[in-house]
């Protein structure tokens, strides 16, 4: 499926928005990490929902001794090299959507699967409102808000994992996943799936993220526009030309490197207007103003940083059991403290999705799955490589 360039699709799609117990022995350098469940602090096997590759118990990750330093003293911690996953070789990937993928009616299929329905019940308790009602009944204007759409997509995407698990052969597919990533907000979903933090903690972070981004957008009015039909160099030249005509506070930048021919520009309203006015002279096919609250993934989101940093600092984050590719630098990170810093930076940094997908494909990715509402990511992958198999698991 190719990404549509219709204005209706682009407005909807580009509303993206654009984080251990150590068991060692002298005879082994392996690290045992617990699989994820709704109660992340329980290390015993459980029948509760988990997003790990094993439904019960532990999964062993073999770590190179040169990359892991272990102290055998009581109360010791394990220092893990952040470059642990640098040489990853992907075969099966889970890809999670970001803001803009939401649609009224999503979640109906998930309610038919007990484990998925339980996620919504748990989410209702954490959020303090009925997220299922918002997902299924909307209205659209309510679901599209930054504050509500982010937790709604997070929960629905992880519910899609449970839908897949309930299928014949679904657990085997989940067991085979060796890399994951998500578009902007979807990075939090990917980290939850990979066991970096619990479902509950991830949802709390996503809720706060949406609120902080909305507050930042209210504090400094900005806008976003999709530029269709130009490569990234030409879009940068377009931004440079627009910035020559506006004050510093109104300047723009590329905020989402989505795929060749489709990039989102973010910045002050006057800067965005200058981009729109000059786009045809740069031979852009079209521009589409996006229905978003502000200039996401730019310095305009700086006011959101302190809240995010504080929340991330207080959250238990562990080394993911599989590589999770960052939106900020298109690299996997293993060190929990680095992951926290990367997640905070993400709201003010351009999304490197194009590089992420290209890297997965160039490293030998065999098949990928898009889990959650919409089919945006499948369209991007097909646009970059028509032969690459990808399946959508919607909820």
Is residue 226 part of the annotated active site? The answer reads no
Tokens read off for 241:
């030309």
* Cα four-point dihedral sign 237, 243, 248, 252: negative
Q: How far apart are CA 47 and CA 35, in angstroms?
A: 11
Instruction: Say how far apart CA 190 and CA 160 lie, in whole Å.
Output: 12
Q: How far is CA 76 from CA 23, 40, 175, 335, in A?
A: 11, 20, 31, 16
Q: Which of 149, 297, 333, 394 is catalytic?
A: 297
Furthest-apart CA atoms within the chain: distance in Å = 67
Q: Which residues pair with 368 in a beta bridge?
A: 93, 390
- Marked catalytic residue, from 15, 149, 157, 184: 184
**CB-based contacts of 333, cutoff 8 Å, min separation 6:** 82, 85, 324, 326, 339, 342
Residue 172 φ then ψ, to 5° = -65, -40
Q: How many residues would you count in the chain?
A: 395
CB 298 within 8 A of CB 272: no
Q: From start to end of the chain, where are the E strands?
A: 30-34, 58-62, 68-70, 78-80, 92-96, 179-182, 222-228, 252-259, 262-268, 286-289, 324-325, 367-371, 390-393
DSSP letters, 147-164, are HHHHHHHHHHHHHHHHHH
Does the annotation count 184 as an active-site position? yes
Mark residue 137 as left, alpha or beta (left: phi above 0; alpha: psi -120 to 50; beta: remaining).
Answer: alpha
279 backbone φψ class: left, alpha, beta (φ>0; ψ -120 to 50): alpha
CA–CA distance, 123 with 114 (Å, rounded to integer) = 14
Q: Are strands 179-182 and 324-325 parallel, antiparallel or unpaired?
A: parallel
Helix (H) or strand (E) holding 71: none
Query: Helix axis angle, 199-219 relative to 305-313, nearest 10°?
Result: 160
* Catalytic positions, written as ranges: 184, 297
């Amino acid at each position: 499926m190719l990404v549509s360039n219709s204005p209706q699709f682009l407005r909807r799609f580009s509303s993206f928005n654009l984080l251990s117990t150590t068991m060692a022995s002298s005879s082994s350098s392996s690290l045992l990490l617990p699989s994820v469940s709704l109660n992340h602090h329980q290390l015993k096997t459980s029948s509760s929902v988990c997003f790990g590759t094993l439904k019960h118990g532990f999964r062993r990750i073999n770590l190179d001794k040169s990359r892991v330093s272990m102290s055998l003293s009581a109360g010791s911690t394990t220092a893990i090299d952040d470059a642990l996953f640098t040489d990853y070789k992907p075969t099966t990937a889970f890809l999670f959507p970001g803001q803009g993928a939401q649609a009224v009616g999503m979640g109906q299929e998930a309610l038919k699967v007990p484990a998925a329905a339980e996620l919504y019940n748990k989410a209702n308790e954490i959020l303090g409102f009925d997220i299922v009602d918002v997902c299924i009944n909307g209205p659209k204007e309510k679901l599209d808000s930054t504050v509500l759409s982010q937790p709604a997509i997070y929960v629905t995407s992880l519910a899609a994992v449970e839908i897949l698990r309930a299928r014949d052969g679904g657990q085997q597919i989940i067991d085979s996943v060796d890399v994951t990533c998500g578009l902007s907000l979807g990075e939090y979903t990917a980290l939850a799936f990979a066991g970096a933090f619990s479902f509950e903690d991830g949802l709390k972070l996503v809720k706060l993220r949406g609120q902080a981004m909305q507050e930042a957008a209210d504090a400094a009015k900005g806008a976003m526009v999709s530029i269709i039909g130009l490569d990234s160099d030409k879009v940068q030249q377009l931004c440079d030309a627009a910035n020559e005509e506006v004050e510093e506070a109104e300047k723009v930048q590329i905020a989402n490197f989505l795929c060749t021919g489709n990039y989102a520009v973010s910045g002050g309203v006057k800067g965005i207007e200058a981009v729109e006015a000059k786009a045809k002279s740069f031979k852009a096919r079209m521009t589409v103003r996006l229905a978003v609250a502000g200039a996401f993934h730019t310095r305009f989101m700086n006011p959101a940083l302190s809240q995010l940093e504080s929340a991330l600092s207080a959250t238990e984050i562990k080394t993911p059991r599989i590589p999770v590719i960052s939106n900020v630098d298109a690299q996997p990170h293993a060190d929990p403290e680095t992951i926290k810093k990367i997640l905070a930076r993400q709201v003010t940094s351009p999304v490197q999705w194009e590089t992420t997908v290209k890297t997965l494909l160039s490293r030998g990715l065999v098949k990928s799955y898009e889990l959650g509402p919409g089919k945006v990511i499948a369209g991007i992958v097909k646009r970059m490589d028509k032969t690459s198999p990808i399946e959508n698991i919607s909820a």
